[in-house]
Amino acid sequence: MSAISQALSGVKVAEFGAYAAGPHIGKMLATFGATVVHVESRSRPDGFRAEYPPYKDGKPGLDRGGCFAIFNDSKYAVTLDLKNESGVDMAKRLIGWADIVIENMRPEVMSRLGLGYESARELNPGVVMISSCNMGQTGPRAYTPGFGSQLSALAGFCGLTGSPEGPPQLLYGPYIDFIASSLGAAAVLAGLDRQRRIGQGALIDLAQYESGLMFVASALFDYHKIGVVAERAGNSDPNAAPHDAYPCRAGGWLVLSCWSDDEFGRLAGMLGQPGLAADLRFATIEARKINEKDLSAIISQWSLSQDAEEAATLLQTARVHAYPVNTIADLFRDPQLLYRHVWRRRRHGVIGDLACYFSSFDLSEVPGDVTGAAPLLGEHNSMVFQDFLGVSDDEYVEYQAKGAFD
Amino acid sequence: MLNGYTILDLSNRVGWLAGRLLADLGADVIRVEAPGVSIAGADWQAYHVNKRLLRLDIQTVDGKRTFDQLIPDIDILIDSAQPGDAFVQHLDWARLKQLNPRLIKVSVTPFGCEGPRAGWLASDIELMAAGGAMSLAGEPDGAPMRVTVPQSYGWAGAQAAVGALTAVVHRTATGIGQHVDVSAQAAVILASSHAAAFWDMDGKNPTRCGAYLTGRSMKGARYRAFWPCLDGYLNFMLYGGPAGRRTNTQLVAWMRELNSPLGVLENIDWKRFDPKLATQDEVDELERPIANFFLGLTKRKFLDEASRREMLGYPVSTMADIAADPQLEARDFWYDLTGPDGHQQRHCGSFAIVDGVRPPLRHAPGEEVNIDRLLAELKTDSTSGNA
């Protein structure tokens, strides 16, 4: 969507994906210049368009959803009826055009439509295709349906969150989906690079479950090696004390941690109690771990009168690990995130002015950008099929009449 | 897929996953540690498997010289130097670019290389707080929580791999290297899904909801997410819509088969059930017989039967449950090799199956390469045009 050269300019992506795990791969590629076409149909629009709030003015609608908007900026949107032969024809032409095909349907759905990897490769020998689903394309539970929010429990995350005495805790949204999308983006880019160098395509089978396990790989390693089962431990860490969240003025929270006795000495100074560093209850990491509750009470007594933001700044000045617990609203005023322009406001066709998430990284020579807010359902049918794929006016009208673009 | 690329990994814990992922995709990743630095920890072993180890002290004059000898022939450098760190000037992008204009330097740091807080100290808990994730985990009236096993390093490392490869694709097209600046704080924001949209569009600040799902009922009811079972917890929710209808119908059929008391479930028409309209009393009545039923199940029984019946819901797994999961076994997810201590080790295998094969892990953690051999390899590769 930009004339400015970007890292992935000229890279063409067809995305047969919905919800989070597929579309977020395309979003990351689009942010760095790939031309990404998001495929839906009027009878089966992306579930994130209408099934999940928030909506513009609180009224649900296919083009009113913020949930869809946040994972689909900088893309083109088309509608294709894949239950209609003419729609499948057009989908094949789109696959023939693309360098990368992203799909996150249940296994074999694409093959049944005649759009699986074997067919795609006949249309386009160098195509890089990623199939991303809960369990992967094979195995006894390959066809088990599932939501990312619950898959986060199967992959161990919920059981590892919360206090040891209480129940597991929910993580927000489909936590694990974004692990899978990040790993999926890395895999398709590796495949694309190989294609560009030697012409060879790739089929990538990415299980969201297995992707998530890479984020607990050391706990799994420990279990296999010595049989230790990691347990949720509140906010504590075996190698640091203190290491927790502390309540501040006006409902704010502050996290801080000390990784050495020296650092604890500096913290004690900032608390106005330098004597704590020599107090036998707290002088060493071992002692501080044993007396963590007492220490926590002392720090909380101090923190309750502090502003979290000011306290973190002061502690960092003294070289103590600290940060305010940012709420979601705070992410829009955090000075470091503002400096990095993490939120970029773009005009959405129905929602209006909208904050779009940019990226966790940027490139020095060819920076990325959010080139436009998320598209409306089927907004770019004519542009994609006629301008990008070269479908003639007559043919476009013919396919339209057959219901291909419904 | 990345065979032929050489990567030097100087990162600290925040960036370790990046090199692991790139190694899984086929790159030759050289992990650099000063002599004497311990490599025994589980983190080190799990995230430096599939890499080779180079013992080099880059803080010394000789070490710096050796480092500079390597730079012209490597493709990607991953580091975590923050402003003020001892080695930061030696890693200056402008300087390294002179040595190798095709180099891709990936900086994985807590807050990015520049900005008002670029030099701030942060471990996992500070990053999970700074990126908003902690505000959304924990009991509503309790403290914000992090996941006990550090996650921010995963988010940063995974995003760094994406950034590195975005730059690689550009380099393949143009021959130009560049600096990729990754912020772990900004990467953690991904963990919050679409929460930002609530603030941006509605001015509502999402909060943590503990072990219950709130915000689904217009009458303020909360739905249980975690249910005690025989050997732990299950994650199950009363959903509406087609997926919820199938799940709820199957659950009742299963309970009926086992003669488990159904209570009010006996008379529910799941086609009409709408979680948005239920009061807390109604939800409690619905959940009571389900809670009783789940108490008699093991996690494994629930997983197998829910899968067979195509129901939504999973057990809350421990590491032991995951290790015994037949799905992972069937997909050859685990990879066994001999560790540096001579004992067998089991690792998470390469994260994706490529062209039908899960790429094997090629190097045990700590498998050393000495500098002379590495330099010779790099010279051979560059003369053969491989790099």
Residue B86 has a pLDDT of: 81
What CATH number corresponds to the domain at position A314?
Answer: 3.30.1540.10
| Averaged pLDDT, B224-249 | 92
The kind and range of the H/E element at A287 are: helix A285-290
Residue B215 has a pLDDT of: 66
Residues B258 and B307 in one domain: yes
- Among A278, A306, A327, residue at a domain's last position: A327
The verdict on a CB contact (< 8 Å) between A235 and B114 is: no
Residue B386 has a pLDDT of: 43
The CA distances from residue B368 to A193, B53, B58, B74, in Å, are 29, 5, 17, 18
Residues A29 and A134 in one domain: yes
- φ/ψ of residue A122, rounded to 5: -65, -35
* B196 domain-assigned: no
Q: What is the 3-state secondary structure (H, E, C) of A345-361?
A: EEEECCCEEEEEECCCE
Residue B387 has a pLDDT of: 38
Residue A4 has a pLDDT of: 52
| Averaged pLDDT, B3-22 | 97
Residues B137 and B236 in one domain: no
Q: Is the ipTM of this complex over 0.90?
A: yes
* A1 domain-assigned: no
3-state secondary structure of B89: coil
The verdict on a CB contact (< 8 Å) between B134 and A56 is: no
* CA distance, residue A78 to nearest chain B CA (Å): 23
Mutation target vs B (from A12, A104, A328; most B CBs, 10 A cutoff): A328
The kind and range of the H/E element at A26 are: helix A23-31
The yes-or-no verdict on residue B276 having pLDDT over 80 is no
Residues B160 and B25 in one domain: yes
Residues A157 and A114 in one domain: yes
- Among A327, A352, A375, residue at a domain's last position: A327
Tens of pLDDT along chain A (406 residues) come to 444 589 999 999 999 989 999 999 999 999 999 999 999 999 999 989 988 889 999 898 999 999 999 999 999 999 999 999 999 999 999 999 999 999 999 999 999 999 999 999 999 999 999 999 999 999 999 998 888 889 999 999 999 999 999 999 999 989 999 999 999 999 999 999 999 999 999 999 999 999 999 999 999 999 999 999 999 999 999 999 999 999 999 999 999 999 999 999 999 999 999 999 999 999 999 999 999 999 999 999 999 999 999 999 999 999 999 999 999 999 999 999 999 999 999 999 999 999 999 999 999 999 999 999 999 999 999 999 999 999 999 999 999 999 999 9
pLDDT tier at B385, thresholds 50, 70, 90: very low
B104-109/B178-183 β-pairing: parallel
Reported as a single tens digit per residue, the pLDDT across B79-105 is: 999 988 888 899 999 999 999 999 999
Give the separation between CA A346 and CA A62, rounded to whole angstroms. 19
* B321 domain-assigned: no
Residue B217 has a pLDDT of: 65
Residues A276 and A385 in one domain: no
- Among B276, B301, B316, residue at a domain's last position: B316
- Residue A54: asked if its preceding bond is cis (omega within 30°), the reply is yes
Residues B259 and B171 in one domain: no
What CATH number corresponds to the domain at position B29?
Answer: 3.40.50.10540
The verdict on a CB contact (< 8 Å) between A173 and B45 is: no
Residues A146 and A181 in one domain: yes
**Chain A partners within 8 Å of B347 (Cβ):** 217, 221
Residue B240 has a pLDDT of: 82
What CATH number corresponds to the domain at position B279?
Answer: 3.30.1540
Give the separation between CA B54 and CA B374, rounded to whole angstroms. 9
* B268 domain-assigned: yes
Residue B383 has a pLDDT of: 58
Q: Which of A210, A223, A324 sits opposite B320 (nearest CB)?
A: A223
Residues A42 and A102 in one domain: yes
Give the separation between CA B178 and CA B167, rounded to whole angstroms. 7
* B338 domain-assigned: no
Give the separation between CA B191 and CA B257, rounded to whole angstroms. 40
Is the minimum CB–CB distance between B198 and chain A shorter than 8 Å? Answer: yes
Residues A319 and A381 in one domain: no
The verdict on a CB contact (< 8 Å) between A361 and B180 is: yes
* B130 domain-assigned: yes
Q: Which of B25, B118, B187 sits opposite A186 (nearest CB)?
A: B25
Is the minimum CB–CB distance between B386 and chain A shorter than 8 Å? Answer: no
Residues B187 and B73 in one domain: yes
The yes-or-no verdict on residue B384 having pLDDT over 70 is no
**Nearest alpha carbon to residue B244 among B212, B269, B219:** B269
* CA distance, residue B67 to nearest chain A CA (Å): 23
CA angle B117, B118, B119 (to 5 degrees): 90
Q: How many domains does chain A have?
A: 2
First-to-last CA distance in chain B? 13
Q: Which of A159, A218, A255 sits opposite B47 (nearest CB)?
A: A218
Residues B36 and B140 in one domain: yes
Residue B381 has a pLDDT of: 74
Residues A38 and A79 in one domain: yes
* B237 domain-assigned: yes
The verdict on a CB contact (< 8 Å) between B307 and A141 is: yes
Q: Mean pLDDT lowest for which of A384-393, B119-128, B178-187, B235-244?
A: B235-244
Residues B19 and B71 in one domain: yes
Residue B100 and residue B77 in contact, taking contact as beta carbons nearer than 8 Å: no
- Parent domain of A311: 243-327
What CATH number corresponds to the domain at position A158?
Answer: 3.40.50.10540
- Parent domain of B275: 212-316
The CA distances from residue A360 to B92, B110, B159, in Å, are 21, 11, 7
Residues B62 and B187 in one domain: yes
Q: Which of A8, A56, A224 sits opposite B169 (nearest CB)?
A: A8
* A78 domain-assigned: yes
Name the H helices within chain B.
16-24, 42-48, 61-70, 93-99, 124-130, 152-174, 184-188, 195-197, 241-257, 280-294, 299-308, 319-323, 326-330, 371-383
Mutation target vs B (from A211, A321, A336; most B CBs, 10 A cutoff): A336
- Residue B304 DSSP one-character state: H
Average pLDDT, chain B: 94
* A297 domain-assigned: yes
Residues A356 and A251 in one domain: no
* A381 domain-assigned: yes
Residue A149 has a pLDDT of: 85
The yes-or-no verdict on residue B161 having pLDDT over 60 is yes
Residue B117 has a pLDDT of: 98
* B128 domain-assigned: yes
* A2 domain-assigned: no
Residues A315 and A362 in one domain: no
Residues B152 and B263 in one domain: no
Residues B170 and B241 in one domain: no
Residue B45 and residue B365 in contact, taking contact as beta carbons nearer than 8 Å: yes
Give the separation between CA B193 and CA B179, rounded to whole angstroms. 27
Residue B216 has a pLDDT of: 67
The yes-or-no verdict on residue B278 having pLDDT over 90 is no
- Among A284, A303, A327, residue at a domain's last position: A327
Residue A353 has a pLDDT of: 96
DSSP string, A360-389: SEEESSS-----SPPPPTTTTHHIIIIIIT
The verdict on a CB contact (< 8 Å) between A179 and B183 is: no
Residues A249 and A192 in one domain: no
Instruction: Pick B34 or B385 by higher pLDDT.
Output: B34
Is this model's pTM higher than 0.80 or not? Answer: yes
Q: How many domains does chain B have?
A: 2
Residues A282 and A385 in one domain: no
The kind and range of the H/E element at A91 are: helix A85-97
Residues A388 and A260 in one domain: no
Is the minimum CB–CB distance between B196 and chain A shorter than 8 Å? Answer: yes
Is the minimum CB–CB distance between B295 and chain A shorter than 8 Å? Answer: no
State which amino acid sits at residue A152.
S
Residues B306 and B355 in one domain: no
* B133 domain-assigned: yes
The verdict on a CB contact (< 8 Å) between A336 and B189 is: no
State which amino acid sits at residue A397.
V
Give the separation between CA A311 and CA A318, rounded to whole angstroms. 11
Mutation target vs B (from A128, A200, A206, A214; most B CBs, 10 A cutoff): A214
Residue A2 has a pLDDT of: 44
Nearest CA in chain B to A140: B327
The residues near A246 (Cβ < 8 Å, ≥ 6 apart) are: A253, A254, A255, A256, A296, A299, A300, A303
The verdict on a CB contact (< 8 Å) between A243 and B185 is: no
**Chain A partners within 8 Å of B172 (Cβ):** 193, 196-197
Residues B250 and B119 in one domain: no
Residue A5 and residue A86 in contact, taking contact as beta carbons nearer than 8 Å: no
Give the separation between CA A304 and CA A314, rounded to whole angstroms. 15
B223-224/B212-213 β-pairing: antiparallel
